[in-house]
Chains A and B, each alone.
Chain A
Amino acid sequence: MNIARFACHGLGVVQPIDLLAIDMDHATPSSPPFVIVGGFSPPLEERDIEASLRAAVGAGKELVWVGHSMGAALGYYLPQTNPGWKFKLVITVDPMCWASNIDCPEWATAPPQPGRWRALGNYDRWINIRTRMYPGGGVLMTKDARCEDHFFPDCDHIGVIADARVRKIIFDAVKEVA
């Protein structure tokens, strides 16, 4: 399959995504390795990260995105601002409860509700995983057969990535598009 895979850190939190990406690479050896992005500050690196994805799309690839926290938020913003890009899979792990992408173009007149996120753009499958722990907890509001919203109230914002149930959801989905 002609895909490019990206794993994006949250701000200042790298180890959980690093480890997850390594394990996902091992679990899917026939697919290209995950490119890890967002190691500095995902909101401020958006343009560079976007350029990496654009290069992949330009090479004819479809995209897989796994992002945590602010990297999850970018997982919402990038397909929204690049509706021509094809995402095979988007996994957003605990996006922020204080931010949103809903009604982005109408921000000035219809402020989004914090913590409510909407899957936008061109995607095959979207999985949102959330905790109840601030600053995570963002909910995927899109009601669509391609979208899933999984709630793990017993997990914390950082530890959620290492949770066995969460990893099973992520790995099953990643293997499906490998």
Chain B
Amino acid sequence: MHSTEWSDEAFCRIIEDFPVLNREVNGKRLVYLDNAASTLKSSTVISKMTDFYLNHYSNIHRAVHTLASEATSEYEAARDKVARFINAQSEEVIFTSGTTMGINALVNSLVRSDILQKGDTVLISQVEHHANLVPWLRLSRFFGFKVEYIEADVTGTITPDSILAAKSRVNSPKVVSITGQSNVTGQTMPIDVIRETFKDAILIIDGAQLIPHKQIDVKALDIDFLVFSGHKMIAPTGIGALYGKRALLEKLEPFLYGGEMIDKVTFEDVTFNVLPYKFEAGTQDIGGAVALGYTIDYLENLGLGNIQKHVEELSKYLLEELSKIDFVEIYGPKDETHQSLVSFNVDGVHPHDVSQVLDEDFGVATRSGHHCAQPLMSVLARGSHIDFPNSTVRASVYFYNRKEDIDILVEGLKYIKRWFG
């Protein structure tokens, strides 16, 4: 049995839909555990995208010919699917190139609209990916707002106490921008607690790591803005989405100016198109957006609940198996809030060397490095009981992984410890 969610037959069909899983790497079956960086691609989604490009593609919106009409309806259908996926209205969904662009766009739009002003405070956390840290830090210099942090403990975990401590220090931040799940510690964040604690703040959620395996209901969680990428949930690279509450989006100045986003232009002034087009200047990644729609069809067909349960089971197994190895140091929380990925170190062996041997001798793809979270590495170093190499190895799972993949990882780690001594 590969999972309790799907029969062996159904699971085999999933595996077959990802051809690269049937290829060998260095003479071994590929064990892909780098899903937090980007997921593999599905034959089903790619062939539907190919069919769209080859048989229905043209530019969207303006022309009256048949292809333009077909392409426009597929593009807008994709928007409807994203909206349904996160429980939003279609006009609240804007296509972007991904999470990084989404956050950069938001920071810029918030300051251009005078919503975020000089003297205001933006609260983020110490576990943010550089994409949700650097834009705030840099633009705070130009526009005079302040950046404060919810502090992580020495395991890199955000605790209820640290949220309360941030509340008493900052009181009423204008913006709270937090990851839904850390790409280093795997912690899924208590979005409801953060919302409850900062009732008046504009709440931005970086959904990049969370949304591939856990449904995010923007209405139930009262999220003001949500950004995420398609490529971490089997869609192609270069496409993502930004959700914003209608009332806020209406107040926001666009972050890109150009074609399609305007209503009327004279030599003196301009008025903008309605939502969501106001934020979609220039020719969009039409094929990517359409493929993101097919991806959502695909995930819904597998069952979002099934995907979540499968990832939860694998995460638990991954954490348990790694915890049994005495020379492995694990970062992040020890409970069920730790999902889909585990960062760790093999005592005395540099993460690059661990990842290299896992690939070369075991066909296991993992990631090593600082995972675009350099400040967090200094936090983990403080809590580390080994000679901390300023980076970690990270293994991450998705719905096409199985327990056997984790067994191979563990076998590899034991071999590496023996080899490097």
Chain B binds chain A? no
Chain A interfacial positions (CB closer than 8 Å to B):
none
B residues apposed to A, CB below 8 Å: none
